[in-house]
Amino acid sequence: MFTWDPRELNCEQAAAVIEPSSIFLTACPGSGKTRTLTYKIAYELSRRADKRIVAAITYTHRAADEIQERIEDLGVDTSGLWIGTIHAFCLEWIIKPYGIYCPALAHGYRVIDTHDRELLLERLCTPYRGVTHWDCDYYVTEAGYHLGCPDTRKHQAIHKVLAAYFEELLASRQIDFEQILWHAYTLMRDQAHIALLLSRVFSHMLVDEYQDTKQIQYSLLTSILRAGCGQTKTFIVGDPNQAIYGSLGGYAMPVADFRAQAGIPIKEMALSRNYRSSERIISYFSNFNVHATTIKSAGEHATFPSLVTYNRDVAHTDVHDELVRLIQVSLAAGNPPENICILAPWWILLAATTRKLVAMLPDQQFDGPGLVPFSNDPDNFWFKLSKILLTESSPRLLVRRMRWAGDVIKDLGDFGVDTTQLTPRRLLRESNALSIDEMDGLRYLDQAFTELFVRLSISEDCFPPLSAHREAFFRSSAARIARLQQAGATYINQVLFFKKVFRERTGITVSTIHGVKGAEFDVVIAFGLLEGMVPHFNEANGNVAASKLLYVLSSRARKHLHLISESGRSRGQYGVYTPTESLTACCFNYDAQ
């Protein structure tokens, strides 16, 4: 039985971990949500009386890796755990075993990556003036698909583009990420035995960041819970105030609605103690509460004399000087570089900013998680392999790299490669033995992929899916690098920058607001807080969306928070951006800049 020192969990966290019934857990920022979820998984794994599996659904692959590593560090056997994103869950447990029942999947399929999707949509948009692939974002529900574009004048043209898009995907036996959810849902809807079988496979289904879950995802989960008649328990956790993916269909379902759909008893619980931020920081981001929640400051920084500043006077041409000044002040006050974060709403702002900060502060390192310089498609085989080839062999990374190697070998087997003689240790040994003298990141990976397959005696040409994945990886990567270089990140193609992507944070973080969700820093400095960026100009419910973004970025700070709405930034041919309205409407006793 997994046990813990009473000092490791507070009473709210411990109660959620040991609660035997299904749980709907609302967790405020800094409340130890991930720790509670991790301990809950470990606790249930240690209590397994049968061979049923504990499934945990996370919003990102990175979150899945982090939680699994934490559980392994606790000394708990994870052989009975499946953890991953909802798309990975649908592919692994619904589409692969039951896709034969769906005509569109029965003869094979390929998941199209983001770059190929954009190229296809851009071509199909050509006949329609003013419509781009950005306008063609959509999300699926039980009733079909919904457009993400709030400009209803474009909807007729977008529907025509998407009709042609779906037709081309079907003809080429390809599906995109939204269609993964749609096909999983229709399979579960039309083949009632699937939900029943899955309820017998899983003893628990846990969901992280429920506020970013889509209607169709809730439907998939509740179908399994309903079929299990209470034999499959659930534990869903999140914060409705951090629901920042509304334009993609994500929303925080009320507990009463979730309980009604699942058809099982579900206990509502909460984590209300913030261990991250000072009372002053908490009092500030509480101004942007959309859903009323209780937050109590309980950490070591509770009484810290935090600075909260808001600058609307700096010109956009001088904003980098102001960022440098704030960084230098923060460093001088004893804040380590890895505990300082620069945030902006758009990655395009960050590309030029990172280049300038590197030049202005040559003694500092900058890590840009939002600036991945190659195709960031976690389901692409070569992306998975690149994680191994771009990380160093070290005891600290061994468990993580072994798991990555296992994923690579599994994919090779799915492609038809004979992997009976290939173990994770051998794959890592051969990868570590490569010696490539190449400074360009893409050329480095191209050579590494080729040499590794020679060492493993695998002929890529014999397995067409491998070649298709490789072509997509390099085509998407080249386009991504070109965009980032055009935005000012001329250094982005260097192999040293490639290797930073999977390394632990060591320098000042530069990220988008969406990209930093879940992280925390002593000092947060945010710029670009402008109407049309926060909220994004495509947001249908702008004030609510802006409040949630401001809530998320402000709640990342432990000690100090610096906000900037720079003036004079061009918007179109004649206009300029103005400060975010929700921010200027906030009455707060800001500190002197």
pLDDT, mean of residues 425-441: 95
pLDDT value at residue 246: 83
What architecture is the 6-94+186-271 domain classified under in CATH?
3-Layer(aba) Sandwich (3.40)
CATH topology of 6-94+186-271 equal to that of 279-369+505-584? yes
Would the pLDDT of 18 be above 90?
yes
pLDDT, mean of residues 222-248: 94
pLDDT value at residue 371: 60
Q: How close are the terminal C-alpha atoms of the chain, in Å?
A: 53
Which tokens sit at 218? 């809730």
pTM of the model: 0.87
CA 342/CA 324 separation, integer angstroms: 10
pLDDT value at residue 524: 98
Confidence class for position 46, pLDDT limits 50, 70, 90: very high
Would the pLDDT of 369 be above 70?
no
CA 177/CA 526 separation, integer angstroms: 31
Minimum mean pLDDT range among 92-106, 390-404, 490-504, 566-580: 490-504
Burial class (CB in 10 A: 0-12, 13-18, 19+), 167: exposed
Chain-wide mean pLDDT for the chain? 92
pLDDT, mean of residues 525-550: 89
CA 152/CA 443 separation, integer angstroms: 44
Instruction: Using the structure block, give the residue that is written with the tokens 């990374």.
Output: 397
Q: What's 141's DSSP letter?
A: E
- The partner residues of 270 in beta bridges, in order of sequence, read 26
More confident residue, 279 or 374: 279
Q: Work out whether the CA dihedral 459, 463, 468, 469 comes out positive or negative.
A: negative
Distance, CA of 232 to chain centre:
27
CB 33 within 8 A of CB 23: no
- The partner residues of 355 in beta bridges, in order of sequence, read none
pLDDT, mean of residues 557-575: 93
Backbone angles phi, psi at 184, to 5 degrees: -65, -45
Kindly list the strands in the beta sheet with 53-58, ordered across the sheet, starting from the edge strand earlier in the chain.
81-85, 53-58, 202-208, 233-238, 22-27, 266-271
Say if strands 202-208 and 53-58 run parallel, antiparallel, or are unpaired.
Answer: parallel
pLDDT, mean of residues 310-324: 96
Distance, CA of 191 to chain centre:
31
CA 156/CA 161 separation, integer angstroms: 9
Distance, CA of 2 to chain centre:
29
Which tokens sit at 420? 């009976």
What separation in angstroms does the CA of 484 have from each of 15, 162, 282, 344, 349? 47, 28, 35, 16, 10
pLDDT value at residue 373: 76
What separation in angstroms does the CA of 416 have from each of 48, 57, 267, 450, 458? 34, 28, 46, 18, 11
Helix, strand, coil % in the chain, rounded to nearest 5: 50, 15, 35
**Domain residue ranges of the chain, discontinuous segments joined by +:** 6-94+186-271, 110-172, 279-369+505-584, 381-498
Confidence class for position 382, pLDDT limits 50, 70, 90: very high
Q: Which of 544, 580, 543, 538 is nearest to 563 (CA)?
A: 580
pLDDT, mean of residues 316-324: 96
CB 345 within 8 A of CB 549: yes
CA 531/CA 70 separation, integer angstroms: 39
Which tokens sit at 462? 């014999």
How do residues 139-176 score in pLDDT, each as one tens digit?
999 999 999 887 889 999 999 999 999 999 999 999 99
CB atoms within 10 A of CB 334: 8
Residue 402: what residue type? Answer: M
pLDDT value at residue 448: 96
Would the pLDDT of 69 be above 90?
no
CA 499/CA 509 separation, integer angstroms: 15
CA 210/CA 215 separation, integer angstroms: 11
How do residues 343-361 score in pLDDT, each as one tens digit?
999 887 887 788 788 889 9
Which tokens sit at 291? 């859903």
Would the pLDDT of 555 be above 80?
yes
Burial class (CB in 10 A: 0-12, 13-18, 19+), 356: middle
Distance, CA of 578 to chain centre:
29
Distance, CA of 47 to chain centre:
30
CB 146 within 8 A of CB 221: no
Would the pLDDT of 264 be above 80?
yes
Would the pLDDT of 456 be above 80?
yes
Q: For domain 279-369+505-584, give the fold.
A: Rossmann fold (3.40.50)
Which tokens sit at 12? 């709210």
Minimum mean pLDDT range among 374-378, 430-434, 479-483: 374-378
CA 166/CA 363 separation, integer angstroms: 50
pLDDT, mean of residues 477-503: 81
Q: Which residues contact 441 (CB under 8 A, 6 or more apart)?
A: 373, 374, 481, 493, 494, 495, 497, 498
Confidence class for position 417, pLDDT limits 50, 70, 90: very high
CA 96/CA 119 separation, integer angstroms: 27
Say if strands 138-141 and 144-147 run parallel, antiparallel, or are unpaired.
Answer: antiparallel
What separation in angstroms does the CA of 43 have from each of 9, 15, 74, 466? 13, 12, 10, 39
How do residues 81-122 score in pLDDT, each as one tens digit?
999 999 999 999 999 999 999 999 999 998 988 888 988 999
Q: Which residues contact 75 (CB under 8 A, 6 or more apart)?
A: none
Would the pLDDT of 14 be above 90?
yes
3-state secondary structure 522-549: EEEEECCCECECCCECCCCCHHHHHHHH
pLDDT value at residue 441: 93
Which tokens sit at 498? 């490639």
Region of 202 please: left (phi>0), alpha (psi -120 to 50) or beta.
Answer: beta
CB atoms within 10 A of CB 593: 15
pLDDT value at residue 196: 97
Degrees, nearest 5: CA angle 547-552-556: 145
pLDDT value at residue 484: 75
CB 247 within 8 A of CB 138: no
Burial class (CB in 10 A: 0-12, 13-18, 19+), 551: buried
Minimum mean pLDDT range among 91-95, 192-196, 341-345, 513-517: 513-517
Residue 542: what residue type? Answer: G
Would the pLDDT of 588 be above 60?
yes
3-state secondary structure 195-263: HHHHHHHEEEEEEECHHHCEHHHHHHHHHHHHHHCCCCEEEEEECHHHCCCHHHCECCCCHHHHHHHHC
pLDDT, mean of residues 398-407: 88
